[in-house]
Amino acid sequence: MDIGVVRTLGSPEGKELLRSLPAWDEAAVMPLQDRLRREGHAPELVAALLTQQRLRARAVAKFGEFADDLLYTADGLEQASRLELSATHAGRFYNASLATVHDLGCGIGADAVAMSALGVTVQGVDIDPVTAAIADINLRPWPDSRARVGLAEEFEPPRDPLRSRVGVWLDPARRVPGVTGRHGRIKRVFRLDEIRPTWDFVVQVATAVPATGAKLSPSMPKDAIPLGTEAQWTSYGGEVLECAVWWGPLAQRPGRSARILGPGRSPVEVDESMCEPDTPTVASLGAVGPWLYEPDRAVTQAGLLGAVTAATLGSEVDHGLGYVVSDAEVDVEFARRYAVREAFPFSVKSLRAWLAQHGVTGLTIKKRGVRLDDDELRRQLKIGRKAGDGAQATVILTRVAGQQVVLVVDPARPA
């Protein structure tokens, strides 16, 4: 799209035309395209309309009922915070009583829209002209909030940000424009020194403007977290989506925290105050208790396994692996519980014999701390991915006290 097409889509006529389109149906694209062309719409506008129709269908997973209220680019939709995370970000700025937030790297404006909806004025910038124009259109319901094309590095902090109640939100680019991976998606970068704007620039902004937040990769190194900030890893439905670092009045509790979100559940937060000072580990395979706890990945990424061992009076199977075993049967909001049926040293021969003895034809394999290829293992075990007529089983291949082991487990119901 060019800027002219974006403006047409954002006009009252363009919005009405978008609303008139039927629900996205891949099979109906060509007839719909022909119809729009017969109605006299320019080819570039027709292409943009169909693109928006397709992206809005995909956006429902992130924005739910509000998906049709926004315009998108394909990259912008992929990079945008989902609604639940945008609401969390916006809440931090709102609760800090900020009047204006500079969104440096605003993308299509998902976070800026959430802040504006809470009454915070947003001044967004994005390096891509089309993306900035789309963000500006998405912000039109809030006339004081705007987005423009520009570089984050051109931001000039106010002389007295506390008195003027100004904050900054940064979402450094973690993708390489124009470079795609083997699955056709834009290549991501995971190292802190590869983001743009740079991590040094983010820290400089936070030094000048105390109320600063930054959205970073879940792989954020824990030893890079600046002193006095809060780093919060957030998951949704078991997938860790981000690590956000908060400075000054935006930090609710300095240190590391995890926030767990999911459909149909209230947010769960875990922080360092809930952790044991030292995380114990299991002494031997014979000491494995009847229950195994698998922490939410946000808890693991944040290095808060001590909260699980404290809540369960348990021990980690081996240092750094994340699984906790315990004699206690308790419900933990931030970990999934399994009943341990069997525990024995791992070898292909011993596992194959156990599966044959119990008539298992459908197998779920979870592994941590053991390097092997799932498909090759299944061939060696003579068992496929699809369930057959026999029993089903879940096995965890991991280490206990340095020994590779098999833990046969069953998902447990709440106590």
Q: Is the pLDDT of residue 186 over 80?
A: no
Rounded-to-integer distance, Cα 134 and Cα 255, Å: 36
pLDDT at 385: 63
Averaged pLDDT, 343-354 = 96
For the cut 90, the answer to whether the pLDDT of residue 164 exceeds it is no
In the three-class reduction of DSSP (H, G, I as helix; E, B as strand; rest coil), residue 168 is classed as strand
Tell me the whole-structure pTM to 2 decimals.
0.91
Distance, in Å, from the CA atom of 382 to the CA atom of 394, rounded to the nearest integer, reads: 16
Q: What's the confidence (pLDDT) of residue 199?
A: 95
User: In the prediction, which pLDDT does 176 show?
Assistant: 55
CA angle 405, 411, 415 (to 5 degrees): 120
The model's confidence at residue 174, banded by pLDDT at 50, 70 and 90, is confident
- Helix H segments across 67-173? 74-79, 83-95, 110-117, 129-138
Q: What is the pLDDT of residues 266-286, one digit of tens each?
A: 999 999 999 999 999 999 999
pLDDT in tens, 15-43: 999 999 999 999 999 999 999 999 999 99
Distance CA 198, CA 269 (A): 29
**pLDDT over 90, % of the chain:** 87
Place of tokens 């051109």: 154
- Coil, helix or strand for 377? helix
Q: Which two tokens stand for residue 98?
A: 């900020």
Q: What are phi and psi for residue 207, nearest 5 degrees?
A: -70, -40
Q: Which residue is listed with tokens 């009252």?
A: 12
Region 205-226: what's the mean pLDDT? 95
Residue 415 confidence class, pLDDT cut points 50, 70, 90: low
Spatial distance between the Cα atoms of 371 and 293, rounded to a whole number of angstroms? 21
In three-state secondary structure terms, 269 is strand
Radius of gyration of the chain (CA): 25
State yes or no: cis peptide before 411, omega within 30 of 0.
no
Instruction: Note the pLDDT of residue 391.
Output: 86
Question: Rounded CA gap, 307 and 272, in Å?
Answer: 8
Helical axes 3-10 vs 12-20, angle rounded to 10°: 80
DSSP state, 321?
S
Question: What H or E segment, with its residue span, contains residue 246?
Answer: strand 239-246
Using the predicted structure, report yes or no on whether residue 188 has a pLDDT greater than 80: no
Count of Cβ atoms closer than 10 Å to residue 31 Cβ: 10
* Average pLDDT for the chain: 93
Nearby residues of 325 by Cβ (< 8 Å), 6 or more positions away: 282, 288, 289, 291, 292, 293, 314, 315, 317, 340
User: CA-to-CA distance for 291 and 50, rounded, in angstroms?
Assistant: 52
The residues with which 365 forms a beta bridge, in sequence order, are 395
Percent of the chain at pLDDT exceeding 70: 94
Nearest Cα to 111, choosing from 300, 242, 200, 270?
242
Contact of 364 with 393, CB cutoff 8 Å: yes
Residue type for position 296 = D
pLDDT tens for each residue of 224-255: 999 999 999 999 999 999 999 999 999 999 99
Rounded mean pLDDT, 159-176: 87
What does each C-alpha distance from 201 to 122, 206, 337, 354, 366 come to in angstroms? 20, 9, 42, 56, 40
